[in-house]
Chain A
């Protein structure tokens, strides 16, 4: 297992960063983006674990001060329980970071799907900036994903409308403009989206054309 650490000991940076942050996100693009964001702070040594590596094994091996964890990881339970288990314990056991004074920050973090663990025997002074950076990054990814989904939906709608128009033009011997007006009128009459009317039309004619 090789950690990804491509930004330590650069020019002008401290030889030994005081805080090691492990980013545990199986979404490699997001993990890289978050790591890049965090590396803007030269006081951090940022490590990412390769996809497929067990979270607990990575924590045991790299002994980070802080772990930022994508809550989609199913193996979070192992980390969550480690301090209470009697198995060969981690040398530096970790526990879920909770800021009781900033409930809104915590709720936002859990809602967006990111959480943070701290080393118990030497808790870092302030984890909140790290968590805020992670929240901002996750929010950006969620928005981008949402925009992508919307773009794909619009593309799919346009495709079915175009298909329906071609079929209508052929069946009714009309122009494209006439076909579009027919679907628009039908959508208004039935309080449906044009794409839904188009899909119904294509499905009905596919059935009618079936042998």
Chain B
């Protein structure tokens, strides 16, 4: 018996296109009946793609690249199908913001960082959702913009996005760069304040894309068509409440158990400076340019690999 096509994703607002496509029967309209696998960790997504327990996944570009290159032990024949979202990552810190605004680049931002750090009494512990994430690259660039070295100026930790809420409340971390809707949820709960994010570091950067295994190349066209329809639905402002409600349902009822108020806020540019922008189009070389440059700077890939990573 042939098993259904499996699409892996995490509990994040930008997973909405796949959830909507399934819940609204858009996959079925194109003859597909995929199984959506809500994964507990990014490692599960990468391993699933490498070891064929997933046929496709919503993923951020650095992890997709490292998985395809076999940096987690086994090279995977993957291809980007299409973009799904741009932006939406938030830089949230706990405590009190010494400024009334997001932190500006340069000396003023550095002063704010130093003042905030002084209140902590320790080297700030900042979390990202995975080592090979856009979040890490954005955090590093943000720190660079205010003159803080990521290696020496902070302690970097890795934890799942949903765990950051508790970790902030317990003071186990002092902040982090996290995707929607978790950063907004932290702010709404009074656990942190926003100092920057995608829009301040790399506006409209590619955040999530759908990658597929070469083994399901035959399903690429209908999959892309269904996701384009789902993204069109997600783009319509009138559908935001319905999307937030869909995503707030528990996984066994077709949702992702996301906090509905924060999720709704992340969908609207009027309620957050870091909204998620859903977009389904081909991935282009400029989308990968800054990412592969930073990955090269960090020593994750070499120049030869960078040149061969043509999209």
> What residues of chain A have their CB less than 8 Å away from a CB belonging to chain B?
71-78, 80-82, 84-88, 95-98, 100, 106-107, 110-111, 115
Residue B278 lies at the interface, judged by CB distance under 8 Å to chain A: no
Residue B290 lies at the interface, judged by CB distance under 8 Å to chain A: no
- Given A73-B41, A96-B73, A87–B53 Cβ distance below 8 Å? no
B34-57 contact mask (Cβ, 8 Å, vs A): 1 or 0: 000000111110011001110000
Whether the Cβ atoms of B53 and A111 lie closer than 8 Å is: yes
Minimum distance in angstroms from B171 CB to a CB of chain A: 15
Q: How far is the CA of A97 from the CA of B157 in the complex (A)?
A: 22
Residue B132 lies at the interface, judged by CB distance under 8 Å to chain A: yes
Whether the Cβ atoms of B40 and A72 lie closer than 8 Å is: yes
- Given A96-B73, A100-B74, A115-B47, A77–B159 Cβ distance below 8 Å? yes
Whether the Cβ atoms of B74 and A87 lie closer than 8 Å is: no
Q: How far is the CA of A111 from the CA of B44 in the complex (A)?
A: 10
Which A residues are CB-close (under 8 A) to B42? Answer: 77, 80
Minimum distance in angstroms from B71 CB to a CB of chain A: 9
Contact of B163 among A72, A74, A106, A115 (CB under 8 A): A74
Whether the Cβ atoms of A76 and B43 lie closer than 8 Å is: yes
Contact of B73 among A81, A85, A98 (CB under 8 A): A98
Minimum distance in angstroms from B60 CB to a CB of chain A: 13
- What are 28 residue pairs bridging A and B, where the CB atoms are less than 8 Å apart in the complex? A71-B40, A71-B41, A71-B47, A74-B40, A74-B41, A74-B160, A75-B163, A77-B41, A77-B42, A77-B130, A77-B158, A77-B159, A77-B160, A78-B157, A78-B159, A80-B158, A81-B131, A81-B132, A81-B158, A84-B300, A85-B131, A87-B155, A87-B156, A96-B43, A96-B47, A98-B73, A100-B73, A107-B51
Residue on B nearest A70 in the bound complex, by CB: B40
Q: How far is the CA of A111 from the CA of B6 in the complex (A)?
A: 12
The count of chain B contact residues (Cβ–Cβ below 8 Å) is: 28
Q: How many A-B residue pairs have CB under 8 A?
A: 81
Which B residues are CB-close (under 8 A) to A98? Answer: 72-74
- Given A80-B43, A81-B130, A86–B159 Cβ distance below 8 Å? no
Which B residues are CB-close (under 8 A) to A85? Answer: 131, 156-158
Residue B252 lies at the interface, judged by CB distance under 8 Å to chain A: no
Which B residues are CB-close (under 8 A) to A75? Answer: 41, 159-160, 163
Residue B151 lies at the interface, judged by CB distance under 8 Å to chain A: yes
Whether the Cβ atoms of B41 and A76 lie closer than 8 Å is: yes
- Given A74-B162, A78-B158, A87-B156, A107–B44 Cβ distance below 8 Å? no
Q: How far is the CA of A110 from the CA of B73 in the complex (A)?
A: 13
> What residues of chain B have their CB less than 8 Å away from a CB belonging to chain A?
40-44, 47-48, 51-53, 72-74, 129-132, 150-151, 155-160, 162-163, 300
Q: How far is the CA of A69 from the CA of B131 in the complex (A)?
A: 19
Minimum distance in angstroms from B63 CB to a CB of chain A: 10
Whether the Cβ atoms of A84 and B73 lie closer than 8 Å is: no
Residue on B nearest A115 in the bound complex, by CB: B47
Whether the Cβ atoms of A71 and B158 lie closer than 8 Å is: no
Q: How far is the CA of A71 from the CA of B42 in the complex (A)?
A: 11
Q: How far is the CA of A77 from the CA of B131 in the complex (A)?
A: 8
Most buried by B among A77, A82, A84: A77
Residue on A nearest B160 in the bound complex, by CB: A74
Whether the Cβ atoms of A80 and B131 lie closer than 8 Å is: yes
Residue on B nearest A107 in the bound complex, by CB: B51
Residue on B nearest A100 in the bound complex, by CB: B74
Which A residues are CB-close (under 8 A) to B156? Answer: 85-87
Q: How far is the CA of A84 from the CA of B51 in the complex (A)?
A: 22
Which A residues are CB-close (under 8 A) to B160? Answer: 74-75, 77
Which A residues are CB-close (under 8 A) to B48? Answer: 110
Q: How far is the CA of A100 from the CA of B51 in the complex (A)?
A: 11
Q: How far is the CA of A133 from the CA of B244 in the complex (A)?
A: 43
Minimum distance in angstroms from A60 CB to a CB of chain B: 12
Whether the Cβ atoms of A77 and B155 lie closer than 8 Å is: no
Whether the Cβ atoms of A86 and B150 lie closer than 8 Å is: yes
Known contacts A77-B129, A78-B157, A96-B73; can you find 16 more A-B pairs with CB under 8 A? A71-B40, A71-B44, A71-B47, A72-B40, A77-B42, A77-B43, A80-B42, A80-B158, A81-B132, A81-B158, A87-B156, A96-B47, A107-B51, A110-B47, A111-B51, A111-B53
